[in-house]
Amino acid sequence: MTCISAARPSVVVLGGGYGGINVAKALDEVAEVSLVDPAEAFFHNVAALRALADPQWLKRIFFPYRRLLSAGRFVRDRAVSVAGRQVRLESGDVLRPDYLVLATGSRYPFPGKTEERDVARVGAWYRAAHEALASARRALVVGAGPVGLELAGEIKAFFPGTQVTVTDVADDILAGPYPQKLRDELRRQLGELGIQLRLGITPTAPPSAPPATLDQVRFSTGDGGELTADIWFPAFGVRPNTDYLGGASLAGGRDGPGCVRVDEHLRVLGETHVFALGDIADADRNMAGIAGHQAGLIAANIQALISGDGELTRWMKFPQVIVITLGPHHGAGFVDGSIIGPAAVAKIKGRDLFAADYGALFDAVRGSGGRTGSGDQAHEVAGWSAFGEQPEGR
């Protein structure tokens, strides 16, 4: 059993995704921070689809957690239960911090995300899927949301001779509160790229082959038709990682499919020193950028509680904004109330996919490493040799 005690207040951050790493980073100099995650490295899934199409990107999507914090520690472990501020880990350790941040994110089908925690194995999966894709003449993407559209764009950009089809049960692409002009612009570019859309299609059964493998794929539709391909990829089915909370979020219960209810300060309902953000919280939309902004607010609120000065900041719903890439040089977005086109999208996101930004974020210790917990062996992240070098952008 581990009881955290220190001169400075203690903070445990569960989950090393986009929200968790930013909270931990922001509080590193003002509190005893412990970042807990079962993986050895942060997985920059915003760029994962590019890594599928171009394996050279594998070296740019993994960042060792041990390089994030200068004063805090990384604990490679998994939370199995949370009660109040008490966290029980899979190793049997129990943490009782002064402040707890729940940032465990969500699951999503490969290649958008992966539940595998070993870097070398993840890299092998992406390389195998890339080789299968390279041998395919026809690729099918099931799901016409942001991930499905971006995946189709990446495939077409790196395999221009491959026939790419995107299908969805919806009658239009990009479900959600976005202007129709954005959908129209994306559909225009998809047409120019030669990406086919089959919308309003109700499947009668799952595709006949496993995803991300080279095979004869048959996808039967409700109208008696059939879509065929040599490889297919799922782009649907996000699920919050809240199993460790059991049937209820700490004091407030659940709202929606596994989401944690939070108040206007992003505290779990009924708690004063427990916060939740990102994909597991009901505060806003599930976007990496929004999780990062929520992290900043939570860090500021925890600092306010530590100092006893000032009022807590309230979370305001994030304005409607989205940037969708269709490969490195195409895409469209809705920013500041206006539609932006390929040139702006490429500059904002498409060319780099924020890889350099995350390289800089993980540059705190330059090889010396922050302190590590018992679950971390303080070694180099396994598997970098498979990618040729450590992540770029340092």
Assess contact for 70 and 365: CB atoms under 8 A.
yes
* pLDDT band for position 235 (cuts 50, 70, 90): very high
Task: Give the CATH H-level superfamily of domain 10-109+238-320+352-387.
Answer: FAD/NAD(P)-binding domain (3.50.50.60)
Q: How is residue 338 written in tokens? A: 């206006």
Tell whether the model's pLDDT for residue 117 goes beyond 70.
Answer: yes
Average pLDDT over residues 5-22: 90
- Position 247 scores a pLDDT of 55
Rounded CA-CA distance 336/298 in Å is 24
Among the listed residues 341, 310, 387, 63, the one whose alpha carbon sits nearest the alpha carbon of residue 185 = 341
Average pLDDT over residues 354-381: 60
- Position 35 scores a pLDDT of 98
What confidence tens digit (pLDDT) does each residue in 334-351 have?
999 999 999 999 999 999
The continuous run of DSSP H or E covering 147 comes out as helix 146-158
Domain boundaries, the chain: 10-109+238-320+352-387, 119-236
Domains 10-109+238-320+352-387 and 119-236 share a fold: yes
* pLDDT band for position 365 (cuts 50, 70, 90): low
According to the 3-state scheme, what is the secondary structure of 304-331? Answer: HHHHCCCCCCCCCCCCCCEEEECCCCCE
Tell whether the model's pLDDT for residue 220 goes beyond 80.
Answer: yes
What confidence tens digit (pLDDT) does each residue in 308-319 have?
987 999 999 988
Architecture of domain 119-236: 3-Layer(bba) Sandwich (3.50)
388 compared with 207, residue with greater pLDDT: 207
176 compared with 213, residue with greater pLDDT: 213
Most confident segment among 3-7, 111-115, 140-144: 140-144
156 compared with 320, residue with greater pLDDT: 156
> 185 φ, ψ to 5°?
-65, -40
- Position 199 scores a pLDDT of 96
Tell whether the model's pLDDT for residue 254 goes beyond 90.
Answer: no
Residue with tokens 């929520």: 294
